[in-house]
Structure 1
């Protein structure tokens, strides 16, 4: 900053000259003191220069509406919205999100550094501030088969990028506490660069937790109960309270919405589908839910603004105060927390639920050929789905409601007419398969999934965290084959098949994860898909594809299925689906 610029800001702050813009008669949420004060907000250039009584060359009378700092999502994967950067911005900016910290490990697991470069390139000119954490686990563990492997040497140069803030969720907690040299090198590179390390360690306790934190891991977003969260808080970690489409942990963690805990906690979404973003909201939804559950509004706002800004070192973000960026949102009341206006760098960028600047996406198909052509596998056949084991018992991967954790269940092997062996739709047990799609290896893992509400047919998806191989679930092999091949034909996406016919599908040709279309278009197609599932007996609140997406992630207990077979996460070994 030049001295003359600073001089002008000081003069405007003193009220000696008019500010560029003054938001008059605002009720300002003060995230430092948890108070609400009535004042004008004076803005010059990109910055707030005063809170008090001011004159401006332009004045907007807010008539008692509330003003909060722009909202920050401290942990999200843009890819999981199924939208590219510009369309994602159009979905979240009107909801008051002015900054996000994203981990591009989804696309990096498919396309390596090409995927990381794609995300940097397609978010660089957005109104939304998009910061990055470098993907730490590509693949998530050695018991996974991803499209790429990123080692410490490949990641090291990116710490110099101005939008890179650190190392993303260190999912390989097992390797960290056992001193895997590849993991330790990534941590050391990050800390040497003066950056932070995010964590991902569900149900890690006692001395293993101590060792994980000693390694340099400063946060966690996987807490599903208050005891685990308090244990990690006491040991100095920041807690990211996650409320997304699949994982919903806020209800269990409501005791954290009070002092002193709230000063070490922030609100995040992790993964959100386009329908939820457009209609329910983004971080504004999380604030609204917290307030309705009894949280003080100022504290809920603080946990979505100041705390993530402090944790990530975004010194000029997160508060309505002199010297802070003029990233502001206007809401009429705190109970409903409906965002009416959004200001970014002092400019009105969204109003009444619409972004004021249209989206624009340009993709260099030559440069990003690996991103746009990500399927390398043969057509699926019935033979690929044959069970490779025999026995009297089957091992079921049982889902848990609104959680990513699974449980193990052993039952007698099922043989029912009209379904594949091992399937019992009355008991919500379906067949599950994961096909390797990156390197033409032909590897297929087969197992069984419990508490899955599919009543008939099959669903398939190329969104299968984190390696994003092709995952298919169904009650019969023929429909599973058709569903899987439909996704393959579309170069990625989702499909639902019943009685030998493709009922609904969504193409996601960008790494098999994202669409090039608008949020509204993708949301409409997703709604058609969900309506088709409901018409075939799937529970309305199941979020079936988001749930399916996590079934192959071999770092969250207890059981997962990937291209190698059923993974016992705690033991990090393959166990049989059927046995004597």
Structure 2
């Protein structure tokens, strides 16, 4: 809302980002693709990861943005939006794959960006195109293509060696030209990090919560009671 309403603080932050030569990230968590959306895009954001429908992805790309399609631990928004490419025929160069929050369990048991790429392929995207959306497209969008995003002279040698492109079966991982993992096992030692006390126990509620604290008690004899509720769409952000 602040961007669409031309809030001076928000506008100043966007202007500072542009002056620094950085990419203005977006966050439009609304299904309204009318005037509020147009005002939001005009305010300067260059990408958005909050789309959940094919029409959301199409609207963003048509307005000159990059549509970020996310598959996190909670959000499953790739399958619906990838149809903008596989069915509507939009240029895949304008799409980026992302996660937007993956829990540790998801990372360990299912993967990170390889999981998103694998999922996009399962939805009908060509393997090379899916990989492009997770590498080259992303690097170019964030103005990092001189170092990242492609296998070429002068780029950082961050590489994956895969035996099955469609299944994204990763055999070896290289970072800056050094092999970091092979066959699912690390080749390097990762030092333990001891968090300072200031980073711990930061959530203070004043008491220890019990299940009963969440009870909504109706008055004796009442047939109805009014409570505050919020509806959710499973595996999506809109409420």
Structure 2 length-normalised TM: 0.86
CA deviation vs aligned residue, 1:388-411 (integer Å, no higher than 9, x gap): 9986444432221221222xxxxx
Match of 2:105 in 1: 275
Match of 2:33 in 1: 205
CA deviation vs aligned residue, 1:99-130 (integer Å, no higher than 9, x gap): xxxxxxxxxxxxxxxxxxxxxxxxxxxxxxxx
Match of 1:242 in 2: 70
SS in 2 for 1:201: coil
Q: Does 1:177 align with 2:177?
A: no
SS in 1 for 2:69: strand
Superposition RMSD on alpha carbons, in Å? 2.4
Q: Does 1:298 align with 2:118?
A: no
Q: What is the CA-CA distance between 1:328 and the residue it aligns to? A: 1.2
SS in 2 for 1:191: helix
Shift of the 381–286 alpha-carbon distance from structure 1 to 2, 3 Å rule, reads closer
Q: How does 1:208-227 map to 2 (within 5 A)?
A: 208-227=36-55
Q: Is the 8 A contact 1:257 1:300 kept in 2?
A: no
Q: What is the CA-CA distance between 1:260 and the residue it aligns to? A: 4.2
SS in 1 for 2:230: strand
Q: Does 1:317 align with 2:144?
A: no
Gaps of 5+ in 2: none
Larger radius of gyration: 1
Gaps of 5+ in 1: 1-173, 407-580
SS in 1 for 2:174: strand
Q: What is the CA-CA distance between 1:238 and the residue it aligns to? A: 0.4
Distance 1:381 1:267 in 2: 38
Q: What is the CA-CA distance between 1:303 and the residue it aligns to? A: 0.4
Tell me which of 180, 191, 196 is aligned to 2:18.
Answer: 191
Q: Does 1:342 align with 2:173?
A: yes
Q: Is the 8 A contact 1:257 1:299 kept in 2?
A: no
Match of 1:352 in 2: 183
Q: What is the CA-CA distance between 1:364 and the residue it aligns to? A: 6.1
SS in 2 for 1:222: coil
Match of 1:284 in 2: 114
Shift of the 273–362 alpha-carbon distance from structure 1 to 2, 3 Å rule, reads closer
Q: What is the CA-CA distance between 1:190 and the residue it aligns to? A: 1.4
Aligned residues: 230
Q: What is the CA-CA distance between 1:264 and the residue it aligns to? A: 0.8
SS in 2 for 1:375: coil
Shift of the 236–295 alpha-carbon distance from structure 1 to 2, 3 Å rule, reads same
Structure 1 length-normalised TM: 0.37
Q: What is the CA-CA distance between 1:384 and the residue it aligns to? A: 6.2
Q: What is the CA-CA distance between 1:291 and the residue it aligns to? A: 1.7
